[in-house]
A and B are shown apart, each in its own frame.
Chain A
């Protein structure tokens, strides 16, 4: 079909009387239909369980039981003066962990993507591994390394430097921030790396031509251009840190540091029986804070054109020659990866071959065992869980990224009224504490007309609902950088919305889409907090299986499964990264 024919086919319907109304004009645009369909799906996914939770926060009885309207849950949650110092602790913890994770991620992403540092491809591949490991295992690994009594690293200092006691104490605010930052770094890395891959270095080159040194280029050009991605990563990680319970439970509790989630746990989720109404009231508070951050994020990124760095001029990012400094860059990346990957994986490997969990001594080497790996090999339940998790990870991540790409396009690129609503909607379920949301999902889908409860599909719905924001952030930080002129050129050549989206935007967004897909696959392979309430024995994925083994004191088996998941995920990531590179287009 020629461009003229296309124009005609668009103009003809415009002539009808129906289309002369405002609604008609709106509906005549293909993008409007996309908006309605995507918006409808997202609104349903996020509002349906959320309404149950909001309702729960305003009544005095659990769902399914007749109750009365009350504000008592809010009075109890926020009328307690003890809560506010804890909020400050949470804020310091969230800010510290998120800031440090972004610094680590930025350094690692810049070195691996934009420089000619040796081994950069290997570093890039391994940087995502910590995202695969259950956070609780990472925290436990660091306790084993840095606890003041018999932490392995502290032990080395005592042995080789003749110190009286080791210099590190994991049970402190810096310890807590450090470990959480390491847990959060892969997510920040993926978002920032995706944006760096899409960035045209011509501005950097111009600055260099005008006499700027490498440091000047970095501080004045590269990092300001990276601002949307950095802010996206920082926003996501801040909220993730503030709502995390695993690391505080393992590190803050023995250190007697209280954060807000500790309080939520004590008063609501960990109380007996669980006070879901109070948990929902706390959830609403966290939701408001999260929405405030989304608003701030949108303000930061509102001047979209300022960040457009991928233009239609045919540039591709290329490596910066660091000269002799490239070895130093590799050393920095290597050091970060030792902290992020090597040490925790070594500890996990050790736990996987120890007969029971302990700090190894010379005696230990005689008792090493492969029993935990044998358990994986011979147990049909584990095989089935692997199958279920693979299905959920691949299908769930793909559905999420399709939705996230369309939603990002609508929110970032179009002027459709109500586009901001989509972003707000996506963030709602994410802002609730995991267990509270899982309960909302259970309440929402247990009596759903389509019988999804107790099937694997309810888990899929839960994953898409809860983790869509991760995909959304990864794509939108890339889409912001794609200049409009490419789309405009496509439209000028007569392509419709779907053709432009498929032929121009998707290839341009590919690094972001693949980064998001990788994040989601790695999370879905091990997710348990939402899954736990929703799976039934026939549809058990790996997350709950690992959780039960952990609950039963089988750390060796958990570590062994964690390592096997890591290997599978690395293979998936390697394929995804190969596909996401510009060069392979």
Chain B
């Protein structure tokens, strides 16, 4: 009897270890992480999408995630200021390429080779920052209750046709950094010469200029302006709530890569690593895709029609000087 109980107990232990495969290999790390108690993350990933992942992480490990959400620039500002003052309170940073590169150069991040990185394609792994876990893609969205799919533009080039004059909204490329980057990267899609002419034609359409990509999408949901240059994921996000949005199937679309990295002086380094391992796992990628994110994992797409056909083209990574020059240049073109 005692023997059979022992066998049963051994069997249960083996079974339990199989049930939690992602942590079996990092059991030691998770144990150390539990002792640290919590993990502090600063990021620009939307709160609801981040919470969806963090809640599952907490369920699995019991570790609480304190998430500070802000725009990418503010995330970088706060992390750099804390680090320079010698009081970094963050364990991990979750944001896009350009600020990550600056923070990396400042030495506030450290390299962590997560075992979960093996599931990403090699070309999506930055030597310092690790895998590019999601692509935030900019496209053309429109209100299909105002513009029928037949009348909608079919390409970026269509946007400069006379029939769309006064019907387009986009963030101000002289103010909104990601849009500056997008306009500057158009040559990756159409070649330098064509892009230069296109930018002038686009400005000549006198698009309504707004503060950022979200108000652009919102003007389309309200019907105030029927077409927007905005994040494609908003089509899913607002569509879920009933907004009559669709997007133009452009094929190739520009976007920005996002990363998750460990702080160089993380107060909870093991908890930070454990969260990164889970964050980059198949399970986490599936959760994020369901919230509308274009995760960088083959076969996992957001539930948006045609999402699997989108070819992501990463935008140029501009430095401070280039941003300033481009903003000045676009001022002459867009604000004349």
Contacts and interface: CB of A to CB of B under 8 A. Distances in A.
A533 B79 CA distance: 10
Interface in B204-236: 208-211, 214-215, 217-218, 221-225, 234
Given A253-B172, A454-B89, A553 B218 contact: yes
A555 B234 CA distance: 13
A553 B69 contact: no
Contact of A273 (B40, B70, B77, B211): B77
The size bracket of the interface on B is 35 or more
A553 B174 CA distance: 22
Nearest to B67: A537
A549 B49 CA distance: 12
Interface in A447-483: 447, 453-454
Contacts of A525: none
Nearest to B226: A149
A439 B77 contact: yes
Interface in B40-90: 40, 46-48, 66-71, 73-74, 76-78, 80-82, 84-87, 89
Contacts of A143: 224
Interface string A406-438: 000000000000000000000000000000000
Interface string A46-80: 00000000000000001111000000000000000
A319 interface: no
Given A250-B211, A266-B175, A358 B243 contact: yes
A273 B218 contact: no
Nearest to B175: A266
B89 A356 contact: no
Contact of B209 (A253, A447, A537, A551): A253
Interface in A231-275: 249-250, 253-254, 256, 258, 262, 265-266, 270-274
B335 interface: yes
A5 interface: no
B84 A551 contact: no
Contacts of A555: 218
A348 B67 CA distance: 28
Contact of B85 (A64, A256, A262, A549): A64
Given A272-B98, A355-B242, A63 B222 contact: no
A555 B81 CA distance: 31
A202 interface: no
Contact of B211 (A249, A538, A548): A249
The size bracket of the interface on A is 35 or more
Contacts of A359: 222-224
B238 A553 contact: yes
A266 B87 CA distance: 30
A443 interface: yes
Given A538-B66, A549-B47, A272 B73 contact: yes
B81 A443 contact: yes
Nearest to B99: A273
B241 interface: yes
B286 interface: no
Nearest to A262: B175
Nearest to A246: B211
B264 interface: no
Interface string A354-396: 0111110000000100000000000000000000000000000
Contacts of A270: 73, 175-177
Interface of B: 40, 46-48, 66-71, 73-74, 76-78, 80-82, 84-87, 89, 98-99, 102, 169, 172, 174-177, 208-211, 214-215, 217-218, 221-225, 234, 237-238, 241-243, 320, 323-324, 327, 335
Given A266-B174, A271-B324, 7 more contacts: A62-B81, A63-B84, A150-B223, A272-B98, A358-B223, A442-B78, A553-B218
